[in-house]
Amino acid sequence: MKIPLDVICVRSGVLCPRCRRLVESGEHQEVEVDVMKHLLELENDNNFKFLKNSSYVKSYKVNTTLIVILDIAEPVPRQNFIRLAKALEERLGLRVRIVQKTSDPKQFIQQLISPARIQGIDSVWTPDGSVQHIVRIPKSDVRFLPMRIDVLENLLSSIYNEIYRIKISY
C-alpha cells in the first residue's frame, strides 16, 4: 500500500523530521498515522489483498466515526470494504467507514451517505463568484444517514474546499 508518510516511520511509531513536519503542519493527523499502520498490517491478510495495489488518501475523524478515503486501482466488491471497516473498528475502537476515491463527486457522496440515496446535486453560483453545491436527499432516507446533516455538510465542505449543503426533498 502506498502511504504519504514513510513506511518505516509509520510501522515504528517514531516519525522522522519530514513525517513529523507533515503531521504538525496539519496535512495529516495523529489518528491517520494509526490508520496507516493498521492498513499496512492488514494488507498481508488474504481477505485484503486489494490493499497492496491501493493508496491511502486521507482520514477524517468526525465525533466517534472515522472516514477513511482510499484510492483503489482494481474493482473491489463492497463487501470487502465492509470487512476492512470492521477490522479497523476492532483495532481503533472507532466506527469506521471506508470510501473509495472517485473523480465524480456524486459517486463519492453516495458512498459516504449510503444507504441513503441522492436525488441530485445542484450547483448554485452566488453573486460573489463562489459556488454552493446542494445535495438533495429524499425525506424517506433521512433516517438512513450515517451522521447528522450539519456534520455531513462540514465534512463535505472540508473534503472539497467548497460549500456543500444538504437539502431534504419532500
* 9 and 64 within one domain: yes
pLDDT range class, residue 124, cuts 50, 70, 90? very high
| Burial annotation 132-162 (CB, 10 A radius, 16+ → b, else e) | ebebebeeebeeebbbebeebbebbeebeee
Q: Which domain holds residue 138?
A: 102-170
* 146 and 114 within one domain: yes
Which residue's entry shows cell 513506511?
A: 7
Length of the chain in terms of residues written: 170
Cell of 117: 440515496
- pLDDT of amino acid 62: 87
* 34 and 114 within one domain: no
- pLDDT of amino acid 70: 93
Q: 53-84, pLDDT tens digit by residue?
A: 899 999 999 888 899 999 988 888 888 888 99
* 58 and 22 within one domain: yes
Residue that is last in its domain, among 101, 123, 155: 101
Q: 19-37, pLDDT tens digit by residue?
A: 999 999 988 988 899 999 9
Residue that is last in its domain, among 101, 125, 152: 101
How many domains does one find in the chain?
2
- pLDDT of amino acid 121: 93
